[in-house]
Chains A and B, each alone.
Chain A
């Protein structure tokens, strides 16, 4: 057990820090800091900068364009990105579909898709959930019927994040109704420009439209776009879930938000002092900070296990549960901290370039929309209740 970084890792961290300071565009950084909406161009511009440096896919094997970093260095990299208010790297291509293509895709698929994912030339989205299939994902009904060398896909996907930007969607579709529901699912890569696809935005409680319904009306998809074997899609989807789990805790981002929360508390007056000096509020912040420390310690334990060659198992579901609980608690305390100024809602303030005087203190802008928006965190990626089912079954043997 060693708490301090080696000189190699310290130098590595400094290199990452210097690079981000020099290359992260100020306008993008400011949007992240002020919780404004990022558009496709923002994400892609930053990702291409990382791509040029060779740092866009630290989790990938070297031969496909990874970095060859240790698990600890990957962790440090994520921490530095978060601390610098860099936008999150979109996971759908780089850390969701790419590992599946690498593990189960054909040579042609690898050669075609992986470089385009790496360079951010293609934006991906995920077609899993359906109106009738949320936690019970295996009940999905979007149908892919064989037709010559193609499939004809008909059905509806929903909650599809940033589908409006996507060039490609990876989908779970039903190719058989025989046997168990899990055994009739295939994994398809579908071009979003295919005739018959329509994307309809869904407005969420915070006023945003980052999620969508995606409709498929007799969409023709080459069978060559299927990953692996027909009806084996469930296996591939489960493999995807087991990938890149430590990042899911988002400890770096939570530490950054905690710093912001403390700054807000220091500037909110209570009595003769500030909210930061208020015993009850300070106690809540202390509890949260301790929870973040505990989660970070667990992440570092898992990182150490990975370094020793022990891949994280289903206990990584803890990271999703605790990580999102902490993020939600942060958003809750920020909302508490700003008091009355949670109320004003200026839709335009979420967009870059809004330069009117803020209503109330500047730090109050977009806190409430973030609170409402972030209720999604305990729902997406398998609800926290589903994560508990996984731990109960896979770890506790119940």
Chain B
């Protein structure tokens, strides 16, 4: 048993943080937020060159075969610099689903291109009527001779408009199934929009959209669940980076901002607020790394429990740290000009992804009931 990062992991973490700090200064971020796709294809090519797009993809599929902990360190780095990209949508979710469910032909057609940065994926699993229940699916899949047609609507599909292929969960006669759609498929319509934290997403409208099955029809739920658990830990790690940045910025601000003739960081009530934020961060970090390591150890029982535990911890710590960072910045925390608000918004939106705090508390309680 050893709960620390090894030298290689520490080096990797540092190199990600340096890259992100250099490539995503706040004016660049602002520019990307207002750009057509919400991210830069040049950055994406850079990610491919650095090997990041294949980090968690198995070696036989052209990736590096890194662990869930490696992935967490990368996501933490993205969070620290609030670097916008379709990484979570395309690689973490899309890549994982194709790896676990795809046929060898499908894997060969998709994964090397994904790793090379030549193909983007999006994963449409959520629906308006399903809230966080991955199995509550209204989208229907009907088999017509040799092809499948999809009917219904998917919610908040991140970076769908940039994706070359969409992966969609649907209810077929066999049960819950996954399907692969080309972005230009007939019967597929996107209603695209920016998100409040500066990303891109779309409602996906399927009106007889033709699709090919990804994996055996009826056997998709465990694949979806595992991809979502992996992504849950990835966003927890992204949140760690955000919390760390918020605390650093707030510490700098209270040291510099003067009122009543002194730096406001000298006031005990503000010091204790910052200590509470710091403690929440340290506990979140410990639990998230532990959850990532549990996932890497491929013990599905403990990893589901640990993923839900981490999401609850991150949800509560995220609210505390985000809200207090704004509070301690006073009026400046409310302005669009300061980075604080941007980090705060991303942290708040992370809570809504893959099940909020209440959802994961409930799941944890049912898994932990002895």
Contact = CB atoms under 8 A, between A and B. Distances in A.
Interface stretch (B26-34, B39-47, B146-154, B285-293): B285-293
Contact of B312 (A5, A9, A287): A287
Nearest to B302: A3
B289 A297 contact: yes
Residue among A1, A3, A301, A305 with max Cβ neighbours from chain B (10 Å): A1
A301 B282 CA distance: 10
A398 B309 contact: no
A350 to B, nearest CB: 29
B247 to A, nearest CB: 8
Contact of A398 (B4, B271, B294, B364): B271
B3 A301 contact: yes
A305 B4 contact: yes
A391 B274 CA distance: 9
Contact of A295 (B251, B283, B294): B283
Interface string A379-398: 00000010011011001111
B65 to A, nearest CB: 16
A390 to B, nearest CB: 9
A294 B283 contact: yes
Across the A-B interface, give the 9 residue pairs with the lowest CB-CB distance, nearest first.
Answer: A297-B286, A304-B4, A392-B271, A286-B365, A300-B3, A294-B283, A298-B286, A294-B287, A388-B275
A301 B274 CA distance: 22
Interface residues of A, number: 45
Interface in B127-149: none
Nearest to B292: A1
B232 interface: no
A62 interface: no
Interface string B1-32: 11111100100000000000000000000000
Interface stretch (A128-136, A142-150, A151-159, A314-322): A314-322
A395 B254 CA distance: 15
Interface string B274-305: 11101100111011011011101100000000
B288 to A, nearest CB: 9
B364 A290 contact: yes
Contacts, number: 128
Interface string B341-369: 00000000000000000100110110011
A1 B4 contact: yes
Contacts of B290: 3, 293, 297, 300
B266 A398 contact: yes
A86 interface: no
Interface in A350-398: 385, 388-389, 391-392, 395-398
Given A290-B364, A396-B275, A398-B255, A298 B2 contact: no
A322 B3 contact: no
Residue among B5, B282, B292, B294 with max Cβ neighbours from chain A (10 Å): B282
B313 interface: yes
A4 B297 contact: yes
A398 B2 contact: no
10 contacts: A1-B289, A1-B292, A1-B293, A283-B365, A286-B364, A289-B368, A294-B287, A304-B3, A321-B279, A388-B272
Contacts of B276: 388
Contacts of A395: 278
Interface of A: 1-6, 9, 72, 259, 262, 276, 279, 282-283, 285-287, 289-291, 293-295, 297-298, 300-301, 303-305, 307-308, 315, 318, 321-322, 385, 388-389, 391-392, 395-398
Given A297-B289, A301-B3, A282 B365 contact: yes
B36 interface: no
Contact of B1 (A9, A286, A298, A397): A9
Contacts of A397: 251, 255
Contacts of A291: 283, 313
A186 B270 CA distance: 34
A391 B275 contact: yes
A5 B294 CA distance: 13
Given A3-B294, A391-B275, A397-B251, A294 B2 contact: no
B3 A1 contact: yes
Contacts of B105: none
A297 B278 contact: no
Given A304-B3, A304-B4, A398 B361 contact: no
Contacts of A298: 282-283, 286
Interface residues of B, number: 45
B156 interface: no
Contacts of A388: 271-272, 275-276
A98 to B, nearest CB: 28
B370 interface: yes
Given A293-B287, A294-B283, A294-B309, A303 B274 contact: no
Contacts of B333: none
B134 to A, nearest CB: 20
Contacts of A389: 268, 271
Contacts of B95: none
A118 B369 CA distance: 42
A297 B2 CA distance: 11
B124 to A, nearest CB: 30
A297 B314 CA distance: 14
A254 to B, nearest CB: 14
A274 B276 CA distance: 35
A9 B2 CA distance: 11
Nearest to A10: B1
B279 A318 contact: yes
Residue among A6, A291, A321 with max Cβ neighbours from chain B (10 Å): A291
B362 A385 contact: no
Given A285-B365, A398-B266, A385 B1 contact: no
A301 B279 contact: no
Contact of B251 (A287, A301, A391, A398): A398
A295 B268 CA distance: 25
B265 interface: yes
Contacts of A307: 2
B69 interface: yes
Given A286-B361, A290-B312, A307-B2, 13 more contacts: A2-B1, A3-B293, A283-B365, A285-B365, A294-B286, A297-B283, A303-B3, A304-B3, A318-B283, A389-B268, A396-B274, A398-B265, A398-B271
Contacts of B254: 398
Contacts of B4: 1, 301, 304-305, 308
A295 to B, nearest CB: 7
A391 B286 contact: no
Nearest to B277: A396
Nearest to A6: B1
Contacts of A396: 251, 271, 274-275, 278
A297 B287 contact: yes
Contact of A289 (B1, B282, B286, B364): B364
